[in-house]
Amino acid sequence: MLEYLAQNFGYILVAGVLLLIVAAIILRMVRNRRAGKGGCGHGCAGCAHAAFCHPEAHREPDKSAAGPGARTGGE
pLDDT in tens, 11-43: 999 999 999 999 999 999 889 888 877 656 666
Q: Which residues contact 35 (CB under 8 A, 6 or more apart)?
A: none
Looking at per-residue pLDDT, the higher value among 49 and 8 belongs to: 8
- The domain limits of the chain are 2-57
Residue 37: name the closest of 28, 24, 25, 46 by CA: 28
User: CA-based Rg of the chain, rounded to a whole angstrom?
Assistant: 25
pTM of the model: 0.52
Contacts of 57 (CB under 8 A, 6+ apart): 50
